[in-house]
């Protein structure tokens, strides 16, 4: 079965180094919390808010060992007034036998405010 795994992180500036590091940190946390291999990943969708355009976050994902063949696509988040700025979001589609309640979604930085219910689950 394919399950979606969500995650988000925020940055404080629009620079390539910062965007790539924040994306890499987020992905490493998601992988560690859910214990899966790149071969089990069908695809990854990454979105960024309109204020982040210094780098493609997918570049950070492709540098993780074994992830160079995983399909990754970047897009711009819908610019809803009042939404969280400088935010990177990911949605991984992973083949797993885990039930939905055992999936660990990861929210870092200010992005914990996006889904406090899911962010709190990973702390317990």
Q: Which residues are annotated as a binding site for prephenate?
A: 6, 89
Helix (H) or strand (E) holding 20: helix 16-34
**Residues marked as binding?**
6, 89
In angstroms, the CA 86 to CA 118 distance is 20
Q: Which of 100, 96, 89, 4 is nearest to 43 (CA)?
A: 4
Instruction: Enumerate helices (H) and strands (E) in the chain, giving the number of each.
Output: 3, 5
In angstroms, the CA 92 to CA 73 distance is 11
User: For residue 45, what are the β-bridge partners?
Assistant: 73, 91
């Amino acid at each position: 079965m394919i399950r979606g795994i969500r995650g988000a992180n925020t940055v404080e500036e629009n620079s390539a180094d910062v965007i790539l590091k924040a994306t890499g940190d987020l992905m490493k946390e998601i992988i560690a919390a859910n214990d899966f291999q790149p071969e089990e990943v069908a695809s990854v969708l990454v979105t960024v808010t309109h204020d982040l355009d210094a780098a493609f976050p997918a570049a950070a994902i492709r540098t993780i060992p074994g992830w160079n063949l995983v399909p990754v696509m970047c897009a711009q988040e819908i610019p809803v007034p009042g939404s969280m700025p400088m935010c990177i979001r990911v949605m991984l589609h992973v083949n797993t036998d885990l039930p939905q309640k055992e999936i660990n979604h990861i929210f870092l930085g200010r992005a914990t405010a996006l889904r406090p219910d899911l962010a709190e689950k990973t702390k317990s």
